[in-house]
Amino acid sequence: MKNLISQKAPNFTANAVLNGKDLIQDFTLERFQGKKYVLLFFYPKDFTFVCPTEIYAFQNKIKDFEIRNVQMIAVSTDSEQSHWAWLHTPKEEGGILGVTYPIVSDINKTISYDYGVLSGNFHYCNKNEKWKVSGELIAYRGLFIIDKLGIIRHILINDFPFGRNVNEAIRMIDAIQHHEKSGEVCPANWKKGEKTMKANREGIIDYLSY
């Protein structure tokens, strides 16, 4: 797996669905650079079980992200047509009707590969002149928080059975933004409004208020 923390987030250009209905081409990550923070999260498949619970959990907190100037983007290896169909299916029928943030199609698997979340294995067999694949080439539950300079500041990757905690993502965004503003660092379990830390000239840690 690539070490992407503190590195420039790999840009991508792909088809996507915006506002729950608009199919577009050439959706890029770099369109937000210098303007917004980005919460980029990957999920395995459309029309599954844990995935819609996460997607709705992020949608339910969309105002909390917006007031923090954060753009949410979801990605899976399904096609944009599959995303569109899922977005037009009611929740009670297993769909995600009502979700408004962009959902990107990584049909070529390149985005998942670049971010180190592509499951399965593949290699080229020279003897048979064929590609061999073991396991499904789909995305693990990866989550990346990217600052306005396009730098990855936080990474979380879960295996397929385990959904993510949206409130933890918000906490991490608060920590990143607080550090950018003050230069102070955030201790374990820190939440917005709690004391932070800063080393003084003697190397002693001072606890500070927000």
Query: In the predicted model, what is the mean pLDDT of residues 37-53?
Result: 97
How far are the Cα atoms of 14, 137, 159 from residue 141, in angstroms, in the given order? 19, 13, 6
Across residues 167-172, what is the average pLDDT? Answer: 98
Does 186 qualify as catalytic in the annotation?
no
pLDDT value at 204 more than 70: no
- Which residue is catalytic, options 29, 51, 55, 146? 51
Report d(CA 170, CA 177) in Å as an integer.
11
CA dist., res. 106 & res. 59, Å (int) = 21
Q: What are the chain's domains?
A: 13-164 (3.40.30.10)
Q: What is the mean pLDDT of the chain?
A: 92
At residue 210 the predicted structure's pLDDT band, cuts being 50, 70 and 90, is: very low
